[in-house]
Amino acid sequence: MSQSPAPAERLAPGDVAPDFTLTSDSGDEVTLSGLRGRKVIVYFYPAAMTPGCTTQACDFRDSLDALKAEGYEVLGISPDQPEKLAKFRERDGITFPLLADPSKETLAAWGAYGEKKNYGKIVQGVIRSTVVVDEEGTVAHAAYNVRAKGHVAKLRRDLGLD
């Protein structure tokens, strides 16, 4: 079993967003710095095709046109392999890139991997999180331990879009 990376501190507004290059559900490489000049919503979720993660992905999918109209790109990141992400995209009609981070290095660098409570037990795992990065690559908004259901609506309110 591979060693999990040490969790990093959580990001906060004003921090420089850690750059990454990850493989997408379509096999393309996506680099955060390649999206400079655009606002990017990066959300981290534990596992493709699970109930909560499906709810969250479909909420982002259903809000994507409105988010894009406000200048936002959306990227979903999980520790899943690209092949599983491709199945998730196809099964649920996901219309934004899903990125694979099986090493969990990006998850850790963004504070989205570490200790969390799962059914009352403390475990190491993916912390459901959303970070909004501005056009210059700086964190504009960060939310950790978010709920899958209703999160996109709350995020839209937090960003002043509703």
Choice among 32, 40, 42, 53 that is catalytic? 53
CB contact at 8 A, 22 and 100: yes
3-state secondary structure of 69: helix
Long-range own/partner contacts, residues 102-105 (CB < 8 A, 24 or more apart) = 103/2, 103/5, 104/4, 104/5, 104/79, 105/5
Secondary structure string (H, E, C) spanning 128-154: CEEEEECCCCEEEEEEECCCCCCHHHH
Whether 53 is a known active-site residue: answer yes
The shares of helix, strand and coil residues in the chain, as percent rounded to the nearest 5, are 30, 30, 40
Rounded to whole angstroms, how far apart are CA atoms 118 and 20? 28
Phi (first) and psi of residue 15, to 5 degrees: -70, 150
Residues designated catalytic: 53
